[in-house]
Each structure stands twice: as C-alpha cells, then as structure tokens.
Structure 1
C-alpha cells in the first residue's frame, strides 16, 4: 500500500545541511537529526513521494537489503515523533537520489538538551511587568526581572 506524508507544519521545521536533516518541533522544543540515508529519505517523504516509489528506489540502489521494513520503521519513528502527517494527496513523482551513500537502516536521533531554550519565546513572552528572559509563569507582576 502506498502511503504519502507531509511535514507536520506549522509546528515542524527542517533543513538539510551537509547531508544531515535537522528537524525541529517548535511545539515540544525537541530537535532531531537524520544522517546518512535517513536525510534523503526525509526529503523525499516531506516532498510527498509515496512509500512505494521510495522502496523501489531503495531496492534498485541497495538490492538484498531490508529496504521496505527499514523504511516502514523509519516512517513510524517520524510519525510517532509528530514530525510527519499522513496526507490524502496523490504521491509526488520526484526522483529519489541516494548519491552513493552506503546502506544503513535509516533512523532518527532526538535531542532534548535545548528544549527549555527553544520553548522560550522572547518575542511573545513579554509584558510591561516582566520581559525576556524571564518566563511569565516564573515572574510575579511587578517583580524585578
């Protein structure tokens, strides 16, 4: 069965830099990284490429691997983390290029070490009584920041 996904916008943003997908969920403050084969797979998935086309491309590039099972596990990680959303749209026909990357089961690495900083919103978390970097729930009105 062909499955199509899209970025879980507007709470998820991503960028691929030097072969690594950096994915941030601004709702939770957790950021994720996907390296190696996981980065072009991320790009294909958010571009709306169907899982059938992706598996076919993986099997052509890496015969004898567990491409379908590995892709399904990766998609489960991405949807479980709330980064991808199922789409009702038709699959996009976009070439999937693995650029000679060695085969390794794609996986997502999640980081919560900057969660408090990412969730701190200096633009909107201010008022006349207190301002950044003091979060509203931490300051009493009229208290010195």
Structure 2
C-alpha cells in the first residue's frame, strides 16, 4: 500500500450540501466543486485518509468501466487535488484503515464511471480573504459574554 493522504484540514474547509461537496481553500479564497466520480473519491480521502491505490480499488469495485480508464481518471483527479494543495500526507501512526470502510457489496453501485472533474472558482477570492470563514458555535458569533 502506498502513502495515504487526507484533507488538509488546517487550510481546507469542506461541506456536503444536498449531495454536492463544496470546498474552500482558506488561504487563497478559491472554492471548488466536483463533477462525475469526484464526490466518491473525496469521501475516501476525507477523514482518516486513503492511498491512491485504495481509492482506485474502491472505484473499480463501485463503478462499471474498464479498470485502466477508472485508474487513469482517479489518478488525474487525485493529482489535481494535490496540485491545488488540498491534501497532506496522512499520519502513518493513525489507523491505517481507509476512512470509509466498505464491503464489496456496499461499494458495488453498478453505475457507469464518469470522469471526475475538479471545478475551480476564483471569482470570490477577494471577498473570502477579506471576510474569512470561521467555525461558529451553537451560541452564534460573536458570542459576547
């Protein structure tokens, strides 16, 4: 098994809303969305992380398609995530199981593999950098005591 990677939670904020993953790079103000198998791949990286090989194996089990096409598509998408500095090496001392432990029956959707695509949006960079996103407790923000 190769190097495992996880989301860079120091600089990347992500949320799944109505089945669509929205990601913001807090350092650059760039935000992202996925098409095709992008969400499936992201689900395997978020959490404890996964190696590229684990993701390819899971995608081949989940989708219909030629293994070499799935492997090439997943690898291209994974490289795009790395280029955008969204991933960091996962701590090898952490649990070595993938974040989403699934059986072959759970994975097999029978859906045709659609090439994953990383959509990059820079139109709100200035706004996001001027008014950074921050986590808010249930009491709201600012919470004056």
- Settle same-fold status: TM greater than 0.5: yes
More strand by share: 2
Structure 2 unaligned blocks of 5 or more: 134-145
Shift of the 24–33 alpha-carbon distance from structure 1 to 2, 3 Å rule, reads same
Runs of 4+ in 1 over 6 A off after TM superposition: none
**Hey, what does 2:79 align to over in structure 1?**
76
Q: Which has the larger radius of gyration?
A: 1
Q: For residue 53 of structure 1, report the CA deviation from its aligned partner.
A: 2.5
- Report the TM-score, using the length of structure 2 for normalisation: 0.72
CA–CA distance in structure 2, aligned partners of residues 13 and 64 of structure 1: 33
Q: For residue 62 of structure 1, report the CA deviation from its aligned partner.
A: 2.0
SS of 2:3's equivalent?
Answer: coil
Q: For residue 110 of structure 1, report the CA deviation from its aligned partner.
A: 0.3
Q: How many residues align?
A: 123
Is 1:92 paired with 2:98?
A: yes
Residues 77-132 of structure 1: per-residue CA shift (max 9 Å, x gap): 00100111122423426227475543111110000011111001379xxxxxxxxx
- Report the TM-score, using the length of structure 1 for normalisation: 0.72
Alignment of 1:98-117 (within 5 A): 99=109, 101-117=111-127
Is 1:5 paired with 2:15?
A: no
Shift of the 69–36 alpha-carbon distance from structure 1 to 2, 3 Å rule, reads closer
CA–CA distance in structure 1, aligned partners of residues 42 and 107 of structure 2: 12
The structure with higher relative contact order (CA 8 Å, sep 6+) is: 2
Shift of the 15–99 alpha-carbon distance from structure 1 to 2, 3 Å rule, reads farther
